[in-house]
Structure 1
């Protein structure tokens, strides 16, 4: 018999762990390829994991409620087949590609592996496929190996199946052939490469930090967590609660830190008279029974503004040699901040530039609903190129929002309040909204950012004229 072990796949966006919600199978059950076998909860959504193998479940490597790590054993299957003659032992392991990598790569495999059999790399919506038959002798696949490795050559190809691991090594100038794998039979895992990435700076800093080692121990002791109800060593106050950030809070914290660390941002803002916009929406609702949300109308103006100021609909990437690459996009994937019970998430409307205000309003409502239910998919929560944050729902006037990394800008909407406003030399009561734009100063200067913000503000002030030209 052949036992194959499936490693928890990378579920996208760099997530390294997921909570096992429930098994949909039990040990001893028969399982088919692509059959849903478990439901896991990431920091972003609930995801069903399909089986890449057909056979009988032999081992479930976790229990409901347990945190499962990417690239670690998830479940094992007795496929009932026989191993290849060149590798007669029993056990095998299989790593899975990330969703985004699978979408991009399809069935592509590295050149040295293109003659292997179907990988069994199965994610949601994907099946397996076998390579064309060839008269040449097959080599054991890098990620599906046997416990007793064949010694047919003295120089065996590096054992790594996940293209993300190869990419990570390449981007950090690490020779994948020099990485010592800690997986089954020397399989190179993501953690092996990351360990080498972290080792270089640590080694460089060691000679400097060594003399201060005794003093460095004090801060560690000072922040040692105290039991709930006990006294905090730094402040002397009783501890109400203390826990390591995890799940969505950890993801948000990391994203915010990365944004502040990587992006030199600046903020511009303007107060906007939206009295006519509110009246226009009321007229549409009276005439048609329903109307786009205010956010959808403003978003339509923002999308049009991005077509005039494309620098704000872009991204800065750091190349391997330290140079900066500026990428502009044809089209807009519009992200919007949505508050859920699990924290703040950013669903995005794909190809928002193709939608009118009514269609945008419908998509906002749909995506907000699935996000709050925890059912948003990876594509729903990744890939945005520009984000709008309506913090007015929290009854605040303004905010210098943190850019949704790696985007170049974020537009913020404050609450709409009645204020005295000068109109044609007279003071009148008008509905006013504060509009803010935080932008990456590397992609453009203040003039471009101000031009975009002014375009959106003018459209909000005179929506009939703006909509007529869209």
Structure 2
């Protein structure tokens, strides 16, 4: 019996969320068979099995967060000698933190469990633990954590889940039973609906909640949640969605950006008619040519080389402004997982066609959830084409620790004065949000004007690159 533990996925990541299982209980797998997709704060990773055999247990439902080093899949001994031989041989494929070895890995061995399959058998979970009566049936690490934090001994509980599985409601019920009328957990947390003992800190908190805030205000005897429900005319909640590891990372980055960066914004309307015409002129019957985003990226990179203050970061510990020697151009990409910002590495060394190829590759990888941690974190400046959403402008948030982000709005036909005459032109808006610590408004405006001029006169700009 082998237990596949969630491997160390690198970069200091301590947990991952199960996105979906690629196998089910009873499936026979070989070494390196993909068994699960998990989501970290960086990307989605497909995990191959380091063992061969029969899937006996999946430790968690999709959406469960599993700490590194905790059980992910339990794999029974192979059904035949062929699987055992393959397990001993190993595949040579190694994911960070685990791999296959001549001994078939270092997974924890367990006594073989009887009754996994066969006539009259119950669920797999029941039979898998039938010979271990002292071990509580707990799959979810979240349930284990809840019990540990509240001081609940799982061995004393009888599970209400399938096959006697201990689920969250069992732990919550045990907490409520133990509390009785005290209304406090060992950590001093108040359980909603439980009465606090007079004179305790919990009772004082409840008293403050019950005090009227002002004339006509409703008593908040039920705490903040009840007050919130009342303020929203008692509308029922539609749904609650736990934050994924990726979403938590996004929240942390954006919150830090707002808290630390004194940002300023400047913008300009741009006649992009010549840019659109240049893009069309590069298209042939056999070659679609570089896309508009690649052309824009080429001019942005040139602008950053000319104004490197916007291509760096603030070293707050040493009180220094750092500028990079080169550009890793981040490109905001909307995906099913949310907004990702993969970076084109060494963008300053690529031609426009090279930029186009790399942009297309990164965009495809972002949508498939296959971006690497380096691609997601190496950007030095971000270009955001929010015009693809059909909007003209945006007050963007700088992608910390970068110091600037340039947004491009949609390109649409608008009236514009050309040589004293009114004409219909292709107009767009550029907006630059920058960290005022690294430069003043003059530098930011000069960079923005450089990019705008390149959009309006791309042929002339290319001649100077």
Question: What's the TM-score bracket when you normalise by the shorter of the two chains?
Answer: 0.5 to 0.7
Evaluate the alpha carbon distance shift between residue 386 and residue 15 of structure 1 in structure 2; reply closer, same or farther with a 3 A threshold. farther
Q: Which of 310, 326, 345 is the aligned partner of 1:350?
A: 345
Give deviations 1:344-370, integer Å, cap 9, x for gaps: 222222221122222222222222222
Report the Cα distance in structure 2 between the residues aligned to 1:442 and 1:20, rounded to whole angstroms.
Answer: 40
Q: TM-score by structure 1 length?
A: 0.62
**2:231 aligns to what?**
234
CA shift, 1:403, in A, is 0.9
Report the Cα distance in structure 2 between the residues aligned to 1:324 and 1:10, rounded to whole angstroms.
Answer: 33
**2:225 aligns to what?**
224
CA shift, 1:392, in A, is 0.8
Correspondences of 1:55-454 after superposition (within 5 Å): 62-75=59-72, 123-124=95-96, 213-214=205-206, 217=209, 221-224=222-225, 232-247=229-244, 248-286=246-284, 289-319=287-317, 323-454=318-449
Report the Cα distance in structure 2 between the residues aligned to 1:128 and 1:351, rounded to whole angstroms.
Answer: 35
CA shift, 1:62, in A, is 1.3
Contact 1:401 1:412 in 2 (8 A): yes
**2:21 aligns to what?**
22
Q: What SS does the aligned partner of 1:271 have? A: strand
Gaps of 5+ in 1: 81-121, 130-143, 146-208
Report the Cα distance in structure 1 between the residues aligned to 2:261 and 2:14, rounded to whole angstroms.
Answer: 21
CA shift, 1:459, in A, is 0.7
Q: What SS does the aligned partner of 2:282 have? A: helix
CA shift, 1:240, in A, is 4.2
Contact 1:223 1:234 in 2 (8 A): no
Report the Cα distance in structure 2 between the residues aligned to 1:77 and 1:324, rounded to whole angstroms.
Answer: 51
Contact 1:311 1:444 in 2 (8 A): yes
RMSD: 4.0
Contact 2:57 2:74 in 1 (8 A): no
Q: TM-score by structure 2 length?
A: 0.63
CA shift, 1:13, in A, is 7.8
Report the Cα distance in structure 2 between the residues aligned to 1:15 and 1:461, rounded to whole angstroms.
Answer: 48
Evaluate the alpha carbon distance shift between residue 17 and residue 216 of structure 1 in structure 2; reply closer, same or farther with a 3 A threshold. farther
CA shift, 1:14, in A, is 5.5
Evaluate the alpha carbon distance shift between residue 332 and residue 220 of structure 1 in structure 2; reply closer, same or farther with a 3 A threshold. farther
Contact 2:312 2:380 in 1 (8 A): yes
Report the Cα distance in structure 1 between the residues aligned to 2:27 and 2:417, rounded to whole angstroms.
Answer: 76
Evaluate the alpha carbon distance shift between residue 337 and residue 222 of structure 1 in structure 2; reply closer, same or farther with a 3 A threshold. farther
CA shift, 1:385, in A, is 1.2
Gaps of 5+ in 2: 78-93, 102-106, 109-200, 211-219
Q: What SS does the aligned partner of 1:285 have? A: coil
Q: What SS does the aligned partner of 1:272 have? A: strand
Report the Cα distance in structure 2 between the residues aligned to 1:335 and 1:355, rounded to whole angstroms.
Answer: 14
Give deviations 1:284-323, integer Å, cap 9, x for gaps: 114864121111101100011111111211122443xxx5
CA shift, 1:445, in A, is 1.5
Q: What SS does the aligned partner of 2:410 have? A: strand
